[in-house]
Amino acid sequence: MAAARPLAANAAGLGLRRALLGPLQAASDDTVDFIEVAPENWMGVGGASGDAFDAVASRWPVICHGLSLSLGGPGELDETFLAKLRRFLDRLGSPIYSEHLSACTDARGQLYDLMPLPFHRAAVDHVAARIRRTQDILGRRIAVENISYYATLDTGDAAAMREIDFINNVLERADCDLLLDVNNIVVNATNHRYDAHEFLAALPGERVAYIHVAGHYDEADDLKVDTHGTPVSAPVWELLDAAYARFGPRPTLLERDFNLPPFDELLVELGGVRSRLAQATRGRRDAA
Protein backbone atom coordinates (compact mmCIF):
# COMPACT_ATOMS: atom_id res chain seq x y z
CA MET A 1 0.00 0.00 0.00
CA ALA A 2 1.49 3.31 -1.09
CA ALA A 3 1.35 6.34 1.18
CA ALA A 4 -1.30 8.87 0.23
CA ARG A 5 0.05 11.70 -1.91
CA PRO A 6 -1.95 14.81 -0.97
CA LEU A 7 -2.39 17.69 -3.39
CA ALA A 8 -1.50 21.32 -2.82
CA ALA A 9 -4.40 23.75 -3.05
CA ASN A 10 -2.82 25.34 -6.14
CA ALA A 11 -2.23 22.05 -7.99
CA ALA A 12 -3.16 21.90 -11.70
CA GLY A 13 -3.74 18.56 -13.40
CA LEU A 14 -4.73 16.76 -16.59
CA GLY A 15 -7.04 13.86 -17.23
CA LEU A 16 -5.02 10.90 -18.48
CA ARG A 17 -5.93 9.64 -21.95
CA ARG A 18 -3.97 6.89 -23.70
CA ALA A 19 -2.81 9.40 -26.30
CA LEU A 20 -1.14 11.38 -23.50
CA LEU A 21 0.94 8.51 -22.12
CA GLY A 22 3.86 9.17 -24.46
CA PRO A 23 3.94 12.96 -24.09
CA LEU A 24 3.67 12.71 -20.30
CA GLN A 25 6.48 10.18 -20.08
CA ALA A 26 8.68 12.58 -22.06
CA ALA A 27 7.60 15.66 -20.07
CA SER A 28 9.42 17.24 -17.15
CA ASP A 29 8.17 16.71 -13.61
CA ASP A 30 6.78 20.26 -13.37
CA THR A 31 4.59 19.89 -16.46
CA VAL A 32 1.59 18.89 -14.35
CA ASP A 33 0.97 18.58 -10.61
CA PHE A 34 -1.32 15.55 -10.75
CA ILE A 35 -3.24 13.35 -13.15
CA GLU A 36 -6.77 12.02 -13.03
CA VAL A 37 -7.73 8.58 -14.33
CA ALA A 38 -10.90 6.57 -14.72
CA PRO A 39 -10.01 3.49 -12.64
CA GLU A 40 -12.24 1.26 -14.77
CA ASN A 41 -9.89 1.96 -17.71
CA TRP A 42 -6.69 1.02 -15.85
CA MET A 43 -7.45 -1.59 -13.21
CA GLY A 44 -5.77 -4.82 -14.25
CA VAL A 45 -4.19 -3.40 -17.39
CA GLY A 46 -0.84 -5.03 -18.13
CA GLY A 47 1.67 -5.17 -20.94
CA ALA A 48 3.14 -2.04 -22.49
CA SER A 49 0.12 0.09 -21.61
CA GLY A 50 0.25 -1.01 -17.98
CA ASP A 51 3.98 -0.29 -17.80
CA ALA A 52 3.44 3.18 -19.30
CA PHE A 53 0.65 3.87 -16.82
CA ASP A 54 2.81 2.77 -13.88
CA ALA A 55 5.63 5.02 -15.12
CA VAL A 56 3.34 8.04 -15.22
CA ALA A 57 1.66 7.16 -11.90
CA SER A 58 5.04 6.91 -10.19
CA ARG A 59 5.81 10.54 -11.04
CA TRP A 60 2.61 12.36 -10.10
CA PRO A 61 -0.25 11.92 -7.63
CA VAL A 62 -3.19 10.12 -9.22
CA ILE A 63 -6.79 11.10 -8.56
CA CYS A 64 -9.35 8.46 -9.55
CA HIS A 65 -12.63 9.57 -11.12
CA GLY A 66 -15.14 6.75 -11.52
CA LEU A 67 -17.48 6.16 -14.43
CA SER A 68 -19.55 3.07 -13.63
CA LEU A 69 -20.51 2.89 -9.95
CA SER A 70 -24.02 4.30 -10.52
CA LEU A 71 -24.40 5.87 -7.10
CA GLY A 72 -28.01 6.76 -7.81
CA GLY A 73 -28.93 3.63 -9.72
CA PRO A 74 -31.71 1.18 -8.80
CA GLY A 75 -29.60 -1.98 -8.47
CA GLU A 76 -27.33 -3.19 -5.72
CA LEU A 77 -23.92 -1.57 -5.38
CA ASP A 78 -21.20 -3.62 -7.02
CA GLU A 79 -19.30 -4.38 -3.82
CA THR A 80 -16.95 -6.79 -5.62
CA PHE A 81 -15.88 -3.92 -7.85
CA LEU A 82 -15.49 -1.65 -4.83
CA ALA A 83 -13.18 -4.15 -3.12
CA LYS A 84 -10.97 -4.24 -6.24
CA LEU A 85 -11.13 -0.46 -6.47
CA ARG A 86 -9.94 -0.09 -2.88
CA ARG A 87 -6.85 -2.16 -3.67
CA PHE A 88 -6.21 -0.02 -6.77
CA LEU A 89 -6.56 3.24 -4.80
CA ASP A 90 -4.30 1.91 -2.06
CA ARG A 91 -1.65 0.78 -4.56
CA LEU A 92 -1.54 4.23 -6.11
CA GLY A 93 -1.78 6.17 -2.85
CA SER A 94 -4.60 8.07 -4.54
CA PRO A 95 -5.55 11.16 -2.51
CA ILE A 96 -9.11 11.42 -3.90
CA TYR A 97 -11.73 9.13 -5.40
CA SER A 98 -14.72 10.81 -7.03
CA GLU A 99 -17.86 9.66 -8.81
CA HIS A 100 -20.83 11.25 -10.54
CA LEU A 101 -24.01 12.17 -8.70
CA SER A 102 -26.04 10.21 -11.23
CA ALA A 103 -27.30 6.81 -12.35
CA CYS A 104 -25.66 4.88 -15.17
CA THR A 105 -27.42 1.52 -14.78
CA ASP A 106 -30.92 0.12 -14.92
CA ALA A 107 -32.31 -3.39 -14.37
CA ARG A 108 -30.61 -4.59 -17.57
CA GLY A 109 -27.13 -3.30 -16.74
CA GLN A 110 -24.94 -0.42 -17.90
CA LEU A 111 -26.55 2.45 -19.81
CA TYR A 112 -23.19 3.93 -20.84
CA ASP A 113 -24.45 7.40 -20.01
CA LEU A 114 -24.79 9.54 -16.89
CA MET A 115 -28.49 9.95 -16.15
CA PRO A 116 -29.79 12.65 -13.81
CA LEU A 117 -31.55 11.75 -10.59
CA PRO A 118 -34.93 13.13 -9.54
CA PHE A 119 -34.42 16.12 -7.26
CA HIS A 120 -36.52 14.54 -4.53
CA ARG A 121 -36.20 13.67 -0.85
CA ALA A 122 -36.52 9.95 -1.58
CA ALA A 123 -33.61 10.20 -4.04
CA VAL A 124 -31.56 11.98 -1.38
CA ASP A 125 -32.19 9.10 1.02
CA HIS A 126 -31.32 6.51 -1.64
CA VAL A 127 -28.11 8.02 -2.96
CA ALA A 128 -26.83 9.21 0.44
CA ALA A 129 -27.11 5.68 1.84
CA ARG A 130 -25.21 4.29 -1.16
CA ILE A 131 -22.47 6.90 -0.79
CA ARG A 132 -22.07 6.06 2.90
CA ARG A 133 -21.82 2.35 2.05
CA THR A 134 -19.27 3.12 -0.66
CA GLN A 135 -17.18 5.12 1.81
CA ASP A 136 -17.32 2.29 4.33
CA ILE A 137 -16.05 -0.24 1.79
CA LEU A 138 -13.36 2.04 0.37
CA GLY A 139 -12.25 3.19 3.83
CA ARG A 140 -12.21 6.85 2.79
CA ARG A 141 -14.42 9.82 2.02
CA ILE A 142 -15.34 10.25 -1.61
CA ALA A 143 -16.28 13.28 -3.67
CA VAL A 144 -19.39 13.40 -5.86
CA GLU A 145 -19.62 15.53 -9.00
CA ASN A 146 -22.47 17.81 -9.99
CA ILE A 147 -23.35 16.49 -13.45
CA SER A 148 -24.69 18.17 -16.59
CA TYR A 149 -28.20 17.12 -17.62
CA TYR A 150 -30.72 18.05 -20.31
CA ALA A 151 -34.06 16.97 -18.84
CA THR A 152 -35.40 16.94 -15.31
CA LEU A 153 -37.32 14.11 -13.65
CA ASP A 154 -40.01 16.30 -12.13
CA THR A 155 -42.16 14.43 -9.61
CA GLY A 156 -44.42 17.43 -9.04
CA ASP A 157 -45.02 16.73 -5.34
CA ALA A 158 -44.13 18.45 -2.10
CA ALA A 159 -40.94 16.41 -1.68
CA ALA A 160 -39.44 17.77 -4.92
CA MET A 161 -36.62 20.28 -4.61
CA ARG A 162 -34.28 22.45 -6.62
CA GLU A 163 -31.02 21.05 -7.99
CA ILE A 164 -28.90 23.08 -5.55
CA ASP A 165 -30.95 21.87 -2.58
CA PHE A 166 -30.72 18.28 -3.78
CA ILE A 167 -26.92 18.44 -4.06
CA ASN A 168 -26.50 20.12 -0.68
CA ASN A 169 -28.81 17.62 1.03
CA VAL A 170 -26.89 14.69 -0.45
CA LEU A 171 -23.54 16.14 0.66
CA GLU A 172 -24.79 16.67 4.20
CA ARG A 173 -26.65 13.37 4.58
CA ALA A 174 -23.82 11.30 3.09
CA ASP A 175 -21.09 13.38 4.77
CA CYS A 176 -19.03 13.33 1.59
CA ASP A 177 -17.09 15.86 -0.45
CA LEU A 178 -17.87 17.67 -3.69
CA LEU A 179 -16.09 17.52 -7.01
CA LEU A 180 -17.09 20.94 -8.29
CA ASP A 181 -17.49 20.89 -12.07
CA VAL A 182 -17.58 24.54 -13.09
CA ASN A 183 -18.35 23.78 -16.72
CA ASN A 184 -21.39 21.73 -15.72
CA ILE A 185 -22.79 24.67 -13.76
CA VAL A 186 -22.45 26.94 -16.80
CA VAL A 187 -24.07 24.31 -19.06
CA ASN A 188 -26.97 23.66 -16.68
CA ALA A 189 -27.52 27.32 -15.83
CA THR A 190 -27.89 28.10 -19.53
CA ASN A 191 -30.08 25.12 -20.39
CA HIS A 192 -32.33 25.33 -17.31
CA ARG A 193 -32.44 29.11 -16.95
CA TYR A 194 -30.85 29.85 -13.62
CA ASP A 195 -27.98 32.06 -12.46
CA ALA A 196 -24.63 30.22 -12.40
CA HIS A 197 -23.07 32.58 -9.85
CA GLU A 198 -26.00 32.25 -7.45
CA PHE A 199 -25.78 28.47 -7.75
CA LEU A 200 -22.04 28.56 -7.03
CA ALA A 201 -22.53 30.80 -4.01
CA ALA A 202 -25.00 28.35 -2.47
CA LEU A 203 -22.55 25.41 -2.48
CA PRO A 204 -20.68 24.45 0.73
CA GLY A 205 -17.11 25.51 0.00
CA GLU A 206 -15.70 23.46 2.87
CA ARG A 207 -16.68 20.29 0.99
CA VAL A 208 -15.01 21.15 -2.33
CA ALA A 209 -12.24 18.58 -2.74
CA TYR A 210 -11.20 19.66 -6.21
CA ILE A 211 -12.51 21.33 -9.37
CA HIS A 212 -13.09 20.36 -13.01
CA VAL A 213 -12.99 22.75 -15.96
CA ALA A 214 -13.75 21.70 -19.52
CA GLY A 215 -15.12 22.88 -22.82
CA HIS A 216 -18.67 22.63 -24.17
CA TYR A 217 -20.44 23.10 -27.49
CA ASP A 218 -22.81 26.03 -28.05
CA GLU A 219 -25.69 24.47 -29.98
CA ALA A 220 -27.68 27.71 -29.63
CA ASP A 221 -27.75 30.80 -27.43
CA ASP A 222 -29.89 28.93 -24.94
CA LEU A 223 -28.48 25.41 -25.37
CA LYS A 224 -25.04 24.17 -24.39
CA VAL A 225 -23.83 20.58 -24.78
CA ASP A 226 -21.20 19.24 -22.37
CA THR A 227 -18.61 17.70 -24.73
CA HIS A 228 -15.13 18.01 -23.14
CA GLY A 229 -14.01 18.35 -26.75
CA THR A 230 -13.31 22.07 -27.08
CA PRO A 231 -11.24 24.71 -25.28
CA VAL A 232 -12.60 26.15 -22.03
CA SER A 233 -14.99 29.02 -22.74
CA ALA A 234 -14.92 32.53 -21.31
CA PRO A 235 -17.99 31.98 -19.06
CA VAL A 236 -16.33 28.89 -17.52
CA TRP A 237 -13.07 30.76 -16.87
CA GLU A 238 -15.12 33.57 -15.29
CA LEU A 239 -16.98 31.16 -13.01
CA LEU A 240 -13.70 29.45 -12.08
CA ASP A 241 -12.34 32.82 -10.95
CA ALA A 242 -15.51 33.31 -8.90
CA ALA A 243 -15.05 29.87 -7.31
CA TYR A 244 -11.49 30.72 -6.25
CA ALA A 245 -12.62 34.09 -4.91
CA ARG A 246 -15.33 32.45 -2.81
CA PHE A 247 -13.70 29.16 -1.75
CA GLY A 248 -9.98 29.83 -2.19
CA PRO A 249 -7.62 27.91 -4.49
CA ARG A 250 -8.46 24.22 -4.93
CA PRO A 251 -6.74 21.54 -7.01
CA THR A 252 -8.10 21.99 -10.52
CA LEU A 253 -8.23 19.56 -13.42
CA LEU A 254 -8.46 20.41 -17.11
CA GLU A 255 -10.68 17.79 -18.81
CA ARG A 256 -10.30 17.01 -22.50
CA ASP A 257 -11.81 13.73 -23.67
CA PHE A 258 -11.55 13.97 -27.46
CA ASN A 259 -10.40 16.35 -30.22
CA LEU A 260 -7.14 16.41 -28.29
CA PRO A 261 -4.92 19.25 -29.51
CA PRO A 262 -1.14 18.88 -29.71
CA PHE A 263 0.31 18.39 -26.23
CA ASP A 264 1.95 21.82 -26.21
CA GLU A 265 -1.41 23.48 -26.94
CA LEU A 266 -3.04 21.50 -24.16
CA LEU A 267 -0.35 22.74 -21.77
CA VAL A 268 -1.03 26.33 -22.84
CA GLU A 269 -4.65 25.87 -21.78
CA LEU A 270 -3.50 24.25 -18.53
CA GLY A 271 -1.43 27.40 -18.09
CA GLY A 272 -4.71 29.29 -17.89
CA VAL A 273 -5.59 27.19 -14.85
CA ARG A 274 -2.14 27.72 -13.33
CA SER A 275 -2.23 31.50 -13.75
CA ARG A 276 -5.66 31.74 -12.13
CA LEU A 277 -4.59 29.52 -9.24
CA ALA A 278 -1.48 31.65 -8.74
CA GLN A 279 -3.54 34.85 -8.75
CA ALA A 280 -6.01 33.39 -6.26
CA THR A 281 -3.18 32.22 -4.02
CA ARG A 282 -1.59 35.67 -4.07
CA GLY A 283 -4.94 37.26 -3.31
CA ARG A 284 -5.47 35.02 -0.27
CA ARG A 285 -1.94 35.68 0.95
CA ASP A 286 -2.34 39.45 0.58
CA ALA A 287 -5.68 39.36 2.37
CA ALA A 288 -4.14 37.39 5.25
β pairing state of 97-100 and 62-65: parallel
Range with lowest mean pLDDT among 107-111, 185-189, 238-242, 263-267: 107-111
**Model confidence at 160: pLDDT above 90:** no
β pairing state of 143-145 and 103-106: unpaired
Task: Give Cβ neighbours of residue 61 (< 8 Å, ≥ 6 apart).
Answer: 5, 6, 7, 11, 33, 34, 35, 93, 94, 95
Q: What is the mean pLDDT of the chain?
A: 93
Residue 109 — very low, low, confident or very high, per pLDDT cuts 50/70/90? low
Instruction: Yes or no: say if 256 and 19 are a contact pair by the CB < 8 Å rule.
Output: no
Instruction: Yes or no: say if 203 and 225 are a contact pair by the CB < 8 Å rule.
Output: no
**Model confidence at 115: pLDDT above 90:** no
**Model confidence at 284: pLDDT above 80:** no
**Model confidence at 149: pLDDT above 80:** yes
DSSP-assigned states of every residue in the chain = -PPP-PPPTT-EEEE--GGGHHHHHHS-TTS-SEEEE-GGGTTT--HHHHHHHHHHHTTS-EEEE-SS--TT-SS---HHHHHHHHHHHHHHT-S-EEEESSEEEETTEEEEEEEPPP-BHHHHHHHHHHHHHHHHHHTS--EEEPPP-SS-----STTB--HHHHHHHHHHHHT-EEEEEHHHHHHHHHHHT--HHHHHHTS-GGGEEEEEE--EEEEETTEEEE-S-SPPPHHHHHHHHHHHHHH----EEE---SSPPPHHHHHHHHHHHHHHHHHHHHHHHHH-
Average pLDDT over residues 175-192: 97
Q: What was the pLDDT predicted at 151?
A: 83
Residue 217 — very low, low, confident or very high, per pLDDT cuts 50/70/90? confident
Q: What was the pLDDT predicted at 27?
A: 97
Domains of the chain, first to last: 12-287 (3.20.20.150)
Residue 3 — very low, low, confident or very high, per pLDDT cuts 50/70/90? confident
Task: Give Cβ neighbours of residue 110 (< 8 Å, ≥ 6 apart).
Answer: 68, 104
**Model confidence at 56: pLDDT above 90:** yes
